[in-house]
Structure 1
Amino acid sequence: MLLTPRTGTTGIGIPRTGSGDPAPRSRTRNSRRLKAALLASAVSVCLVAASAPPAPLGVGDRLFPTLGNPGYDVASYDLAFTYPGSNTKPLQAVTTIDAWTTETLDRINLDFAHGTVDTVEVDGRPATFASAGEDLVVTPERPISEGSWTRITVRHTSDPVSAKGQDGGWVRTKDGLAMANQADAAHLVFPCNDHPSDKAMFTIRVTAPNAYTAVANGLPAGVDKVGRNTTWTYRTQHPMATELAQVSIGRSAVLHRTGPHDLPMRDVVPAKDAKQLEPWLKKTPDQIAWMESKVGRYPFETYGLLMADASTGFELETQTISLFERDLFTEPAYPKWYVESIMVHELSHQWFGDSVSPRTWSDLWLNEGHATWYEELYAEEKAHRPMETRMKAAYAASDRWRAAGGPPALPKAPAPGQKISIFRPNVYDGAALALYALRQEIGRPAFERLERTWVSVHRDGTDTTADFEELASAISGRDLSDFFQGWLYGEKTPPMPGHPDWKSQAPVK
């Protein structure tokens, strides 16, 4: 996610902050590691007594303690939405979840908070259900034993009209809908295990009146027109976190082009704006080639931009189809170099955040720090905007950012009612500053080898700050524990290697 600038675009570049089949081997490995890392701090017992009242659970995330659910590992989602032709009316929906149970379960908790549930089935049999907080608690006819393959089918509505106190989920555009689920809003759209540690394959079907076009993550898998409606089907070829799901429904033009290595690409734009936006869209293949020169092959089956005619306040790295505000490309106040660097920011997330996803939300800096890093590097190489200048300015502000938002790898919890407030400067330029310090510390060749190895070894996985620290130490050939302790967890910004004259301004008390 990148917050959209509202005033100016110079300086350090941060005005935007303003305030199924069984799981692949890598996911099985991650499931075991997840249990060790998270479930120890989560609910200690996943077997819920049938007589106990339904209760919300969570996987123990420090920033979102009730997000996600223990006891199962989702392998795939099948989402079916029927759009009524109005973005103010609920969509009819069916969500089918295939999962492995990792504990014996009398009840199954799903994250779901903004829709009406009609029926629930578990393995084809009716199940009872109740709401508890932001959980949908499902009770099957009989307990599901550990290690079972189970299917949960929920028939429900999906409401695009925001409920009080809820941010994200469906975004209403001028001609339809799009999704913005980061960080914790996918469960406002469909029942799920809404935590990035549990990635899964997705099939997404959208039925809409014939005048509309629907596009979703992954590759098209069929278009069926029946009478006045058309059903569009898409499937991912790689596992995806729920926060990265995307569905666009609108009077859209889908523009096709080819990227590096014959990568199929599609951009989705308001049909009326296709000609105006094409000069921006055609830049993407070269941007992909630039990123590949830095970190290796693009990790997914397709890519493109979704330019939504809506005011969201941010851009978002939804997997294989990044979400942008249309006005970012039509507002003349934004310099060309700046807009292009923002395009690269979201593109780089396809490697950092989408392919290699955070195990917990405290690992967010791995997403945003790297995306900011490549945004800055692109601006340096393509627009002659020196990274060192921006890093020096970021260093000056770093102590203030740490005081306000916490160190990069230990961010403070979101403000009440402002869940996306975890997206603070400390995880953007503050985290990129830590990467700059790391390059200074271990040298450019080792740093560049680390970047390539990280996205290659951990592709399609979920990983932690500790994993990154371990790999950096291995590649550099020395223990970097003290370095990372200061740069990622310290209250004060350590001295910058190679720049002892840089100073950080003290926080205002």
Structure 2
Amino acid sequence: MPLTPSSPARRRTSAALLASAVSVCLVAASAPAVPLGVGDRLFPHLGNPGYDVASYDLSFTYPGTNSEPLRAVTTIDAWVTADLDRINLDFAHGKVDSVEVDGDPARFRTAGEDLVITPEDAVSDDTWMRITVRHTSDPVPAEGREGGWVRTGDGLAMANQADAAHLVFPCNDHPSDKAMFTIRVTAPDGHTAVANGLPAGVERAGGKTTWTYRTRHPMATELTQVSIGRSTVLHRTGPHGLPVRDVVPTRYREALEPWLEKTPAQIAWMENKVGRYPFETYGVLAADASTGFELETQTLSLFERELFTEPVYPAWYVESIMVHELAHQWFGDSVTPRTWSDLWLNEGHATWYEALYAEEEAGKPMRDRMKLAYGASDRWRRAGGPPAAPKAPEPGHKTDIFRPNVYDGAALVLYALRQEIGGPAFERLQRAWVNRHQDGTAGTQDFVRLAAEISGRDLDDFFQGWLYGEKTPPMPGHPDWKPEDPGKPGKPAKPVAAAVSGRGGAR
């Protein structure tokens, strides 16, 4: 049985999203296997139609080195939403040893980046199914692919955004299909494993230890996190008794502590802005790796260790990036984008609270940052598309969707909205957004409708220009603000995350 059954309302939402793709899934067993998708505009082959995952049970056995494949078992419990002769999973970087559907062996083959499963008997609409895949999970990067396992100085971590969870385990790799997770990791003694959620048991035998973690809230596959290494887990308490645990390379424990002790106060700051922290725990994973970004993996955000330990970055910047990833726990993790074109809702809000924190705690005026962003906005739109209609990434560069137009460009939309409807209505909107859609998925039109409801105004024309226009509209309240001439060369006004660090910054 699945860990938690999917509600009828959630099944209806998923079914509506997948309806356009379901028909191609109902194929005869003799037809060629083909990769499928849910029709995402930016990632057309991500996700799969015909089912709604309720839970994942992931088991990894780490061999003690980050250059050899892990043995793994992935068990998926899902609600079937169409009669299926075949079941497609996203999986592209490991060897499959066997597949079972409801306990019976099933045939399988690959097609593109899909694992295509043919059960002995078709599975029927409106029933539960369990898929068990025994496979390997390869930490050596796939040629021409970004993401998946991150090899650290003492083990492994994960960075699955946007389309790389299926480089680690078979899944329905689209944020519209959130599920509960149980994660088990077995590693040689001397290593420590930590994953999303809370501990659910530790077993030691034969020189190895198995750690089990479970989530208490549904999670998108791109937010999965597993840390394996010679690590220390630090414990502290956040607001309302929230357990806060950080995972750090043991030899850097002392150097990292002054930064990590700031987290409880940062959580309290965010709660004051938008309401109660939405999950069962939080913490920082300081990975000994150079990734070029930080990442909001659910309940355990991934950071480069050097962000904290290298004397390159101003303290206010480091703290604001910590808040960026923390803000994502509300915006992106708890309220997850329905499609990847809705990414601006994640990154725009995280950038907003990053900038607001820098203003309130370090005296860095948001108005100045937004004026710079306004000057660059036309250029960002031309290069990457408007915030809610970003250009598709180039083949082999899937993370190119993380452009300035969805960071400071999207935060600029929020600044304009606050100017348009006023601060009190804007703050009510932020709280209502995370409360109404907690643990769910939501898209741009949901935000547009809620903004109209909260403000009591028709905002369709406002949002049409700010979210979809090729040119940046005039800024309410600032008629003097002018966009740069995109035809003239000039110093780019990058998001702070990129401008200060020279890296990719926060995601």
TM range, smaller chain? over 0.9
Paired position in structure 1 for 2:5: 23
Secondary structure at the counterpart of residue 199 of structure 2:
strand
Q: Provide the rounded CA distance (Å) in 1 between the counterparts of 2:11 and 2:265.
A: 36
Return the match for 2:395 from 401, 409, 416: 416
Report the equivalent of 2:82. 103
Which position in structure 1 is the counterpart of 2:167?
Answer: 188
Match in the other structure for 1:254: 233
Please, which moves more after superposition, 42-51 or 186-195? 42-51
Q: Distance in 1 between matches of 2:171 and 2:387?
A: 28
Q: Distance in 2 between matches of 1:399 and 1:263?
A: 43
Please tell me whether residue 32 in structure 1 is matched to residue 12 in structure 2.
yes
**Highest RCO, 1 vs 2 (Cα 8 Å, sep ≥ 6):** 1
Superposition deviation, residue 333 in structure 1: 1.8
Matches within 5 A, 1:312-391: 312-391=291-370
CA offset at residue 332 of structure 1?
A: 1.1
Select 1:85's aligned residue among 61, 64, 80. 64
Name the TM-score, length of structure 1 as normaliser: 0.95
Shift of 1:415: 1.6
Q: Residues 440 and 38 from structure 1, CA distance in 2 versus in 1: closer, same or farther, beyond 3 angstroms?
A: farther
Residue 463 of structure 1 pairs with residue 436 of structure 2: no
Change beyond 3 A, Cα 1:23–1:437: farther
Indicate if the aligned counterparts of 1:43 and 1:60 stay in contact, CA closer than 8 A: no
Q: For the Cα contact (< 8 Å) 1:38–1:61, is it kept in 2?
A: no
1:231 corresponding residue in structure 2: 210
Deviation of 1:56 after TM superposition, in Å, equals 0.3
| Contact 2:73 2:132 (8 Å CA) reproduced | yes
Q: Once superposed, which parts of structure 1, at least 4 consecutive aligned residues long, lie more than 4 Å away?
A: none
Q: Deviations over 1:464-509 (max 9, x none)?
A: 0000000000000011000000000000000000001101113238
Q: TM-score, normalised by structure 2?
A: 0.95
Query: Is 1:39–1:60's contact at 8 Å kept on the other side of the alignment?
Result: no
Contact 2:176 2:220 in 1 (8 A): yes
* Aligned partner of residue 476 in structure 2, secondary structure: coil
Name the counterpart of 1:3. none
Matching residue of 1:9: none
Query: Structure 1 CA distance, aligned partners of 2:422 and 2:9?
Result: 32
Aligned twin of 1:57: 36
Q: Which residue of 2 aligns with 1:503?
A: 482
Taking the aligned partners of 1:178 and 1:102, their CA distance within structure 2 comes to: 34
1:93-492 aligned within 5 A: 93-492=72-471
**In 2, Cα distance between the equivalents of 1:50 and 1:160?**
33
SS state of the match for residue 221, structure 1? strand
Partner of 2:491: none
Aligned to 2:25, the other structure's residue is in SS state coil
SS at match of 1:314: coil
Greater CA drift, 229-238 or 29-38: 29-38
Structure 2: state its 5+ residue gaps. Answer: 489-507
Cα distance in 2 for residues equivalent to 1:471 and 1:441: 15
The CA deviation string for residues 159-191 of structure 1, in whole angstroms up to 9 with x for no partner, is 000121111000000100000000000000000
Deviation, 1:365, is: 0.2
How far residue 130 of structure 1 moved from its aligned partner, in angstroms, is 0.3
Partners of 1:422 and 1:37 lie apart in 2 by 21
Partner Cα distance (1:507, 1:66) in 2: 34
Q: Which residues of structure 1 form unaligned runs of 5+?
A: 1-19
Figure out how many residues of one structure are paired with residues of the other and give that number: 487
Q: How big is each residue's C-alpha offset from its partner over 1:132-158, in whole Å with a ceiling of 9 and x where there is no partner? A: 000000000000000110000000000
Q: Is the 8 A contact 1:43 1:57 kept in 2?
A: no
The one-letter amino acid of 2:420's match is: E
Q: Give the Å deviation of 1:43.
A: 5.4
**Sequence identity, in percent?**
78
Aligned residue for 1:255, secondary structure, equals strand
**Cα RMSD (Å) of the superposition?**
0.9
Q: Matched residues in 2 for 1:444 and 1:399: separation?
A: 25
Cα distance in 2 for partners of 1:93, 1:506 equals: 54
